[in-house]
Structures are given as C-alpha cells and as structure tokens.
A and B are shown apart, each in its own frame.
Chain A
Amino acid sequence: MTKRMQLIAIVLAALGLAACQKPAQTKPDETVAPPAESAGEASTSGIGTEGAAPAGTPLTPQQQALEALKQTSVIYFEYDSSEIRDQFLPVVAAHASYLVKYPSARVRLEGHTDERGSREYNIGLGERRAQAVRRALLAQGVAEAQVTTVSYGEERPAVEGSDETAYAQNRRVELVHAP
C-alpha cells in the first residue's frame, strides 16, 4: 500500500469513527440500568484472536433440545383474540414436552398486541394471550412453577409499521426459556 493510500485509509477510518459517535446525552435524574434478563443495549465487538479458537464443548441433550425449540418459539394470534390456532398447537406441544422432560427448565411467556386501541387495555389483552399459552402448557403436564407470564401489550412491537402485515407479526406470545 502506498503512503498516500494508507493516509486515505486512516482518514476514512477516522471519519467512520466520528460518524459513530453520538452527541453526549442529557443525563436524567435517575438512570436505570437494563434488567439482566433483557438483551443489553450496549454491544462491543472485538477483532478476534487468530488461531486461538477455544476448544468446543459438546451440547448437552437438553441444550440441543432447547436449540431446536428456538426455531419455533413464537405463537401468533388473530385480532382481538387469545385463541391458539391449530397451526400453533405443535409449537405448544414441542415446548410442553421439553418442559415435562426437564422439570428444572423454566419458560417466560411474553404476551404482545398490535398497536391499536388503548395501551393499558392492551396490557390486558397481551396477558390474556400469555395465560392462554400457559394453560395449554399446564394441560400437557408442565408444572405451574415452570411457567411465568409477562404482558408488554403494544409497548414492545416485533416490527414497525401500521398495516395488517405488521399488526399480524406483533400480535404474539414469545416463549423465552431460561437456561
């Protein structure tokens, strides 16, 4: 690389860094750290350490089962309904059999709605959906202590948008397994 090209590269890198920096924000009286169980909002990235890949540990059968469950861990609902549609019954059954097989496993059911209607009422609708999934799990032998519910109503949409496609993706219960 010529000197000139190196210089350009350095300048570009510097510009890129500068563009990423956000202006200092006014700090509130009270800053709240994100809860441990939610995905943290700060992300860091390393540059990797060449040739130092750690030795892999084989997944336990439970971890393997959990990985498979993660492929289908959302149940979608019709407008203003908390009825689990037939197409999602296999999803419920798969999660139930995992929880029955591993009694120490825990699942949190997160109920959500689309953005229409009043916010606190939607908290109620999200809770109703989470409870419908909870009852279905209990009916298949899952212990009560394994299941908790939370409703976010319309506060945590999966996708942005104010059309039926977005609404349909936001009316959901997410099954979140604790390790």
Chain B
Amino acid sequence: MQSITSARRSALAALAAFAMLAAPGLVRAQLRLDITQGVRDAVPIAVVPFGGQGEDARTDVAAVVAGDLRMSGRFAPLERRDLVARPSAGPEIRFEDWRLLNADFIVVGRVEPDGAALTVTVELFNVRTGAALLGERLPSTQRDLRATAHRIADLVFERLTGLRGAFATRIAYVAVDGRPPAQRYRLIVADADGYDPRTILESSMPVMSPAWSPDGQNLAYVSFEGGASAVYVQRLSSGERTRVSARSGINGAPAWSPDGRRLALTLSRDENLDIYILDLGTQTLTRVTTDSSIDTEPEWAPDGRSLYFTSDRAGSAQVYQVGLDGDRQVRRVTFTGGYNARPRLSPDGKSLAMVTLDRGAYRIGVLDLVSRSLWVITDSRQDESPSFAPNGALIIYATRERGRGALAIASSDGSFRQRLSSDQGDVRDPAWSPFPPGG
C-alpha cells in the first residue's frame, strides 16, 4: 500500500515535471533555496500535509509553510518521509509519536471548500507538553492559497519567536543574460521564496538599483535605456511608470524617504557625484552634499532627518551620515577596513549592513550603531547589495557562484546562510520589499 502510494506520487511528480517542460511559455524560471550554512540549534518542527489536499494539490500548503520556516534559519522542519502520521486536527495527534521523532512543535491543518472559496484551518502544538499554541481559521481561495500559506508561516513564526514573520513579502532583483557586450537586462519581482517571478522591465541596456516605496506599491530604479542613466518610478499593479530624473550626467541610487514623498538620489551636475533630494510632488530638487569626491548610495534614517551614504572624500570608500536639518553636518560612520559602501539600515535603525573589504574580499558586514562593532556575515569573495527583510531577521545580498551572479540570504547575525539558486542567468541587485499593507 505504502509503495503503491509513493509510486503514484512519483508518477504524478514526473507528470507535473513533464507538463512544465512541455509548456515553456507558461513556466517562469525560478529561484530555489539551498541552505549552505545551517544553525545548529534550529528548532525541529513537524509540518503535516494539510487535510483536504490531495497529492496533486496545486499549492501544497504544508510544503510552503515548511519552506518558509526553513528559510528563516530558525527552524528545521522534518522531512516529509519521516512524518509518521497525517493528523489534520488537534484531537488526531498522538504526541508520543512526535516526541520519538524529536519534534519540538507540530503544525496541522486542513483546507476545506467554503462555497466557491476555501477556508484554511491551522493549529500549532507544543509536542512535549501537548499545549495548544495557535488555532486560527483563514479565508482563502484557490488563487490565494499560496499567500495564505505564507500568512500561516508568519503566524507560526511570530508565535514561536516573538518576531513578526516576513514570509508574505517580495523581492525585486535584476537578471542578465547573454554574453557581453550583447546582454539583456530584466527587472524581476518575485515572492520572497523566489516563487512566481514576474518581469516588470526588459531592456538591452543596464537596469539597476531597484528600491521599494515604503507602501510596497512602487519600485524606483535606474535604467540606461535611453543611452544615459535615468531614474524611473514604476507602479507594480499597472506597470505604469514615470521618469522622475533624467538630468544631464548620472541619475542613480534612488532611495525613498520614510514618508514615501521624496527620493534621495545621486546626480553628477559638477562632474562628480553628489546626493540630492527630489520631492516627488513638487519636483523640487535640493542638494545635500557638495564634496568634490564620489558621494552616492544614500539611505534614509527612519526619522527622515539624516541620510547615510558612501563617499571616498577621505581616500577610500567609507560610510558617512549627513543631517538634513540646518547645517548639513557630515559625520563619518565607518572606520574599520579599507572599503565600506552601500549602507542599508536595519528596520529598527540600530545596525547598518554594507559591503566591506574583509581580508582582500568584498563581503557583507553589519555595523552595530550602538557598540560600533562590525561583524562580517558572509564568506565569499564578491558579496554586494545587502537588503534587510522588513523584520530585520534576514539580509538578502548578491554574490558570485561559478562565475555567475547569484542571490543569497543570511541571518543578520551571520549564523545562517542560504543560496537562492537560479536558472535565470546572472542575478543581482536584490531588494527586499516592506511588509504588505495591513498584514
């Protein structure tokens, strides 16, 4: 019986794989997560396949939840083949079975039709004590089931860590294919787990530096499609966009103010790069830095009253902070190492992720703004473009792997790392979205 079921399962999987191969127009290339450095104390958790879902379910809720929890680095979901039973509600759980498997927690649930829609029920238990930790019913539809699964992962994560989950978020990144000099550049938006990548811009000229508006509705980015750089703001729902800066010279490094009404950006009006603020409503441009060096890569402080940025005014690239009230005083922020660039602030405003030169290699460093200590959290030779998840727990960044650009995710303390494998050519320049509104 067991073997028949599993044979049927693999036949279905093969069929599904064939269907995907046979319809290249429908299938979009995807990113896939591979854990490269795990945490020893990841919490073992059983996520049981949800009741009401056959093996052929289009969205396997339990698989999505387990994938999210694994991606957080804090949980080690049991392998599905090790799951000894398939309870779909609290009373069906025999906790002693799960204790033998050394699972600390168990997630069960079911998907039930509710008219044309669906209702998803989820329960979370402590395996040692049998205590119920979570019980929730979520309305959904076949189309939204994956989003509901991410929401369930958020609930479980929040209940067990006290941190808000960021699984129902998205990432933007740039994919490049073709060989130099004839390359194609695509700006892509995908779910945070790499699922459902959608190309929102395609060009034969470089596209770079995507930046999410605070409400997650718009992306600002740099495109060279006219031969020179320009900054665009594109509405994700409609694809409609506005060219907000195409001044002579460089237009780069857009960064949204916390209120979403202004963009800090880099312009080269005096033959060198300086930071300006563009008011998107009034189109007023205000100059922020005036140094004759390269000043670029602005990042807003959460209170909107200062900017962090990269400058080589003292010789090498370092991170500085400039006040926006009154006298525009500039203060140097980094002193460790010969190269610190592209600062990105953690959501709590307490630390700064950046590219740092570490023993001859470009890696991601996290500077604690209180203790002033800098931790290097990656170990490759060319890591860049760090971007915090909106809950601050993870950092997505670009790295190189076998000569190609790849994306990777690290926990912000560096204890956990994973790679987002891609079949989309060279991928780079990732930016993690804010929390979805109302979530």
- A residues bordering B, Cβ < 8 Å? 23-24, 26, 28-41, 115-121, 123-125, 127-128, 131, 149-152, 155-162
Of B5-13, B84-92, B181-189, B368-376, the one contacting chain A is B181-189
A37 to B225 alpha-carbon distance, docked (Å): 10
Bound Cα distance A36, B226 (Å): 8
Given that A118-B310, A120-B297, A128-B272 are contacting pairs, would A155 and B208 also be in contact in the complex, using a CB cutoff of 8 Å? yes
Query: 6 closest pairs, A vs B, by CB?
Result: A29-B239, A124-B294, A155-B206, A23-B24, A118-B342, A34-B204
Cα A131 to Cα B249 in complex, Å, equals: 11
Stretch at the interface among B227-235, B329-337, B408-416: B227-235
Contact of A24 among B25, B234, B266, B339 (CB under 8 A): B25
Task: Report which of A128, A152, A162 forms a contact with B400, defined as CB distance below 8 A.
Answer: A162
Residues of A within 8 A of B200 (CB): 28-30
- B296 & A123 in contact (Cβ 8 Å cutoff): yes
> Do residues B25 and A117 form an inter-chain contact, with CB atoms below 8 A?
no
B202 contacts across to A, CB distance below 8 A:
28, 31-32
Q: Are A32 and B227 in contact (CB under 8 A)?
A: no
| Residues on A with beta carbons closer than 8 Å to the beta carbon of B268 | 127
**B201, A156: Cβ atoms closer than 8 Å:** no
**Alpha-carbon gap, A21 to B33, bound state (A):** 31
- Closest B residue to A43 by beta carbon equals B182
**Are B227 and A37 closer than 8 Å at their CB atoms?**
yes
Contact status B223-A118, CB under 8 Å: no
Do A157 and B180 touch (CB < 8 A)? yes
Residues of B contacting A127 with CB < 8 Å? 249-250, 268, 271-273, 294
B contact residues vs A (CB 8 Å cutoff): 24-25, 28, 179-184, 186, 198-206, 208-209, 223-229, 234, 238-239, 241, 249-250, 252-253, 266, 268, 271-273, 294, 296-297, 310, 312, 317, 339, 341-342, 355, 362, 381-382, 384-385, 400, 403, 428-429
A32 engages B203 (CB within 8 Å): yes
List B contacts of A118 (CB < 8 A): 297, 310, 317, 341-342, 355, 384-385
Closest Cβ neighbor of B386 among chain A residues = A118
Please, which residues of chain A bring their CB within 8 A of the CB of B296?
120-121, 123-124
When distances are taken between beta carbons in the complex, the residues of chain A under 8 Å from B186 are 28
Instruction: Given A32-B203, A124-B273, decide whether A119 and B208 contact each other with a Cβ distance below 8 A.
Output: yes
Q: Are B339 and A117 in contact (CB under 8 A)?
A: yes
Chain A residues near B317 (CB-CB < 8 A): 117-118, 121
Nearest CB in chain B to that of A31: its residue = B202
- Whether B180 lies near A120 (C-beta < 8 A) is no
A41 touches B182 (CB 8 A): yes
Please name the residue on chain A nearest to B253 by beta carbon: A120
Residues of B within 8 A of A28 (CB): 186, 198-202, 239
Bound CA span A35–B185, Å: 14
Question: Which residues of the partner chain A approach B310 to less than 8 Å between Cβ atoms?
Answer: 118, 120-121
User: Chain A at the B interface: mostly helix, strand, loop or mixed?
Assistant: loop
Asked if A150 meets B229 with Cβ closer than 8 Å, knowing A29-B200, A131-B272, the reply is yes
- Chain B residues within an 8 Å CB radius of A119: 208-209, 342, 384-385, 428-429
User: Which residues of chain A come closer than 8 Å to B201, judged between CB atoms?
Assistant: 28-30, 32
* Nearest CB of A to B157, in Å: 31
Distance (Å) between the CB of A123 and the closest chain B CB?
A: 5
> Can you pick out 19 interface pairs between chain A and chain B where the beta carbons lie within 8 Å of each other?
A28-B201, A28-B202, A32-B225, A34-B205, A35-B227, A38-B204, A119-B342, A119-B384, A120-B342, A121-B297, A127-B294, A150-B228, A155-B208, A155-B224, A156-B181, A156-B183, A158-B180, A159-B180, A160-B179
A160 and B229 form a contact (CB under 8 A): no
Q: A38-B227, A125-B294, A155-B224 are in contact. Are A117 and B28 (CB under 8 A)?
A: no
A34 to chain B, nearest CB (A): 4
Chain B residue numbers with a CB within 8 Å of A123 are 229, 250, 252-253, 266, 273, 296
Contact partners of A117 in chain B: CB under 8 A: 317, 339, 341, 355, 362, 384
A41 to B182, CA, bound (A): 7
A39 cross-chain contacts in B, Cβ below 8 A: 181-182
Most buried by A among B28, B317, B429: B317
CB proximity of A159 to chain B, nearest CB, Å: 6
User: Are A149 and B249 in contact, CB atoms less than 8 angstroms apart?
Assistant: yes
> What A residues does B429 contact at CB under 8 A?
119
Q: How far is the CA of A31 from the CA of B28 in the complex (A)?
A: 17
Complex Cα distance A156/B239, Å?
A: 26
Contacts of B312 in A (CB 8 A): 121, 124
The complex places the Cα of A35 from the Cα of B203 at a distance, in Å, of 9
B172 to chain A, nearest CB (A): 13
Residues of A within 8 A of B294 (CB): 121, 124-125, 127-128
Residues of chain A contacted by B362 (CB below 8 angstroms): 116-117
A100 and B326 CA atoms in complex are apart in Å by: 47
Residues of B within 8 A of A23 (CB): 24-25
Question: Separation in Å of the B426 CB from the closest CB of chain A?
Answer: 9
Give complex CA distance A134, B345 in Å: 36
* Distance of A113 from chain B, by nearest CB (Å): 12
The interface residues of chain A lying within 8 Å CB-to-CB of B266 are: 120, 123-124
Please measure, in the bound complex, the distance between the C-alpha atom of A132 and the C-alpha atom of B381, giving whole angstroms: 29
CB-CB nearest in chain A for B354: A118
Contacts of B28 in A (CB 8 A): 26
**How many Å lie between the Cα of A123 and that of B209 in the bound state?**
11
Which A-chain residue is minimally distant from B26 (CB atoms)? Answer: A26
Q: Which residues of A contact B204 (CB under 8 A)?
A: 34, 38, 40-41
Measured between beta carbons, the chain B residues less than 8 angstroms from A157 are 180-181
CA distance A39 to B227 in the complex (A): 10
